[in-house]
Amino acid sequence: MNIQRASQNSLLGSLHFFFPKECVHCGRLLDYRNREYLCPACEKLITQVCQPLCDRCGRPLSGEIEYSFDCPACRENPPRFRRARSAFLLIGPGKSLVLKYKYSSNPYLSAPAINRIFKTGGEEYWWSDYDLIIPVPLHPRKARERGFNQSGVLAHGLSRRTGIKLSRKGLVRTRYTGTQTRLSRKDRRKNVKGAFRVSEGADLNGKSVLLVDDVYTTGATVNECANVLMEAGVVRVDVLTLARAG
Ligand SMILES: [Zn+2]
Ligand SMILES: [Zn+2]
């Protein structure tokens, strides 16, 4: 161990003494070198989103499927994006990780979140397919309330890892939509209709876009974003989110 590493470790060790690192799910005290913010037991309970999935929206399906399959919701209302994929399900420790990441000001939690979304993106998509990474924007008021845009942090991390250009302000939210937690699928679609626009001067014509958000619920928000982007001349939108609810 070199001197620099040794002093770094002792600094981390003493920080750990004052600010103990806890598992975001069960609260168990963690080794200060743990970068995932989950204890090994909770780590094992993270539910990865894996095949079989709806080819379009990435909804997990039951049973065996040998060919690509679109779920009934996608067949009824085909989404404007080509595909959506998520790293893990919004249950158990995965849910704790997302909630802590979303609502705490602990910037260290963004590293494990970026690691996970980067891994899933690399497995599900070809990075070379995209010209731009665009985060789902928060309304400026909500961003002020929360202190940061969690999708923006994920998108920035992905852009740094992949070298794909980040368009932080290509898409803007024009309407404060409030929380959608209690709304039905249909009401969510209505709620986000017209809530986004492409910023003036953003050159999106002919571009292929990877749209990034923290949670995919009914897909209403990312679908509306994809709709606005396609209207602005974008040729393809794929969606990548950290977690998936339902
Ligand atoms: Zn734990
Ligand atoms: Zn689907």
Ligand 1 center to 199 CA (angstroms): 42
178 inside domain? yes
- Structural domain contains residue 32: no
Omega of the bond prior to 52 within 30 degrees of 0, cis? yes
Tens of pLDDT, residue by residue over 27-38, are 999 998 898 899
Q: Band of the pLDDT at 7, cuts 50, 70, 90? A: low
Q: How many structural domains does the chain have?
A: 1
Query: Which ligand has the minimum distance to the alpha carbon of residue 83?
Result: 2
Provide the CB-side half-sphere exposure for 96 (13 A, CA).
17
Cα 22 to averaged position of ligand 1 atoms, centre (Å): 8
**What is the gyration radius of the CA atoms in the chain, in angstroms?**
19
CA 70 to ligand 1 centroid distance, Å: 36
Which two tokens mark 32?
Answer: 């200060």
> Distance between CA atoms of 86 and 125, rounded to whole angstroms?
11
| Mean pLDDT value across residues 118-128 | 97
Q: What is the mean pLDDT of residues 153-170?
A: 95
- pLDDT in the model for residue 20: 78
What was the pLDDT predicted at 185? Answer: 76
Q: What's the pLDDT band for 190 if we cut at 50, 70, 90?
A: confident
Distance 216 CA to ligand 1 centre (A): 24
Measure the CA–CA gap between 121 and 158, rounded to whole angstroms: 9
How many residues belong to the chain?
Answer: 246
Question: Which residue range forms the structural domain that includes residue 52?
Answer: 46-244
What is the CATH number for 198?
Answer: 3.40.50.2020
DSSP letter assigned to residue 218: S
Å from CA of 50 to ligand 2 middle:
14
The model carries a pTM of 0.88
Residue 167's pLDDT is 95
**Can you give the pLDDT at residue 25?**
95
- Asked whether residue 27 is domain-assigned, the answer is no
Q: Kindly state whether residue 127 falls inside one of the protein's structural domains.
A: yes
Residues 6+ positions from 240 with CB-CB distance below 8 Å: 84, 85, 86, 117, 120, 121, 124, 125, 158, 210, 211, 212
Domain membership flag for residue 131 = yes
- Please report the DSSP string for 67-127 in residue order: S----HHHHHS--SSSEEEEEEESSHHHHHHHHHHHH---GGGHHHHHHHHHHHHHHHS-G
